[in-house]
Amino acid sequence: MTSLPILAFHSVGDRPLPGDLAHLTATPALLDRCLGWLARKGFTTLSLGEVHGWLKGETEIPPKSICLVFDDGYVDNWAFAHPALAKHGLKATVVVTPEFVRPDDGLSPTLEDVEAGQVSREALPGPGYLSWEELRAMKASGTWDIQSHFQTHTRLPISDQVVGYHHPDSPHYWMCWNADPAGKPAWMSKSLAELNRSVPWGTPILESARSQIATAVFPDPARARRLVEFVESRGGDSFFQAPDWRNLLSEVDEAGDWKPGRRETSQEKAARIQGECEDSRRLIESNIPGQKANFLAWPGGEWDAACQEIAVGVGGYIATRTTLRRAMRRGDDPRMIHCGFFGQKAGSITGGTLAPFLLFKGWVLRLGGHPTGRFLIFLGNRLRDLVGFFRRSR
């Protein structure tokens, strides 16, 4: 085999993830169709460890091989993806962020429970995250390998430049995660307005970047305090009913006497990234017996030379995983494994499985070195565009 396809899913369920994350949810019917095709065609599913060994020239792999990864550790991976993989005799890797893992010890019902008549389909979990108990069960089944997706999977301010001001409909989830880390596993169970109450109204939303590449800025607390007090003096929630509330806050902000934020030093940044690498690996290995967390998937697929060097050095990982959609070939740098997305959001546009299935099949073949892959990708994209056009024209 000259090249190896590595493709990722995220959420798989009947109910999509909230807000602008909805496109990350594939339907159970799509997953079943994709896995069924792989099984019929005789594909062998590999772990990241097996991929790494092959890249280094240490092991051989079957001619038809693929690596499947599920990003973020959503609870529907247990409820829907786990039974589907078992049904087709395939395996996968799930990458999890410990700060999002549910601390409870419960096992959610699965599609197998529905088929056995033990629960209704409506009782299956909606948007949310896996628990440590579910991860242990997934590992024990032999179907799953569990790897790291960093410790926080968040963003950090990188300058004093304002991109907005916090309000009840603010979509900047990361500010709420940073304000209440203990609430991260349950954040999807809250309404947007309820979630946003963890950050005071009027707090400036600053230019930000993924934590693994950010050189963080620590803003002057006096700046946010002045804005928050202004909103409170104008009625709190009701202040945002005024059509010009953004301009009012901008005027208060510009007139304020606040100091520029302190930028973290290179030593502080390196120590923070190293800490995230080590904490995630330690928590996965200590909570899941027999699991070695040797691989780190970069959140959002974003990385730079500095964080990569830390991760595969003092961070303790043997390789990282990106979201670059490239075929992996023997002899490629084994410290960086590329994994692409195939366009599962086409299902949310077309309302069916054909377009995203064609894209999945096309990318498997293209990344595996088969020329027909490009044609299937073309068909999938055109079908998506065509159905989307007719839907918008109604």
Share above pLDDT 70 across residues of the chain, in percent, rounded to a whole number: 97
Q: What is the topology classification, in CATH, of domain 6-151+274-341? A: TIM Barrel (3.20.20)
Q: What is the mean pLDDT of residues 170-178?
A: 97
pLDDT of residue 347: 55
What pLDDT is attached to residue 99? 98
Q: What is the mean pLDDT of residues 167-188?
A: 97
State residue 387's pLDDT score.
Answer: 79
Could you tell me the two tokens for 239?
Answer: 């202040």
pLDDT value at 341 more than 60: yes
Domain residue limits, the chain: 6-151+274-341, 156-210+220-260, 349-394
The mean pLDDT of 80-109, rounded to a whole number, is 97
SS3 content of the chain, % helix, strand, coil (to 5): 45, 15, 35
State how beta strands 217-218 and 204-210 pair: unpaired
Mean pLDDT score of the chain, rounded to an integer?
Answer: 95
Q: What is the pLDDT of residue 133?
A: 98
Picking from 30, 67, 89, the residue whose alpha carbon sits closest to that of residue 337 is 67
pLDDT at 2 over 90: no
Instruction: Decide: pTM greater than 0.75.
Output: yes
pLDDT at 349 over 60: no
Query: What SS3 state is found at 24?
Result: helix
Contact 83, 112 (CB under 8 A): yes
Confidence of residue 388 (pLDDT cuts 50, 70, 90): confident
Task: Give the model's confidence band at 384: pLDDT under 50 very low, under 70 low, under 90 confident, else very high.
Answer: confident
pLDDT digits (tens, 9 = 90+) for 49-71: 999 999 999 999 999 999 999 99
Average pLDDT of 119-139?
98
Per-residue confidence band for 183, with pLDDT thresholds at 50, 70 and 90: very high
**130 pLDDT more than 60:** yes
Helices (H), the chain: 28-40, 48-55, 76, 82-88, 111-115, 132-140, 173-179, 192-196, 221-233, 245-255, 266-287, 305-311, 346-350, 354-367, 372-393
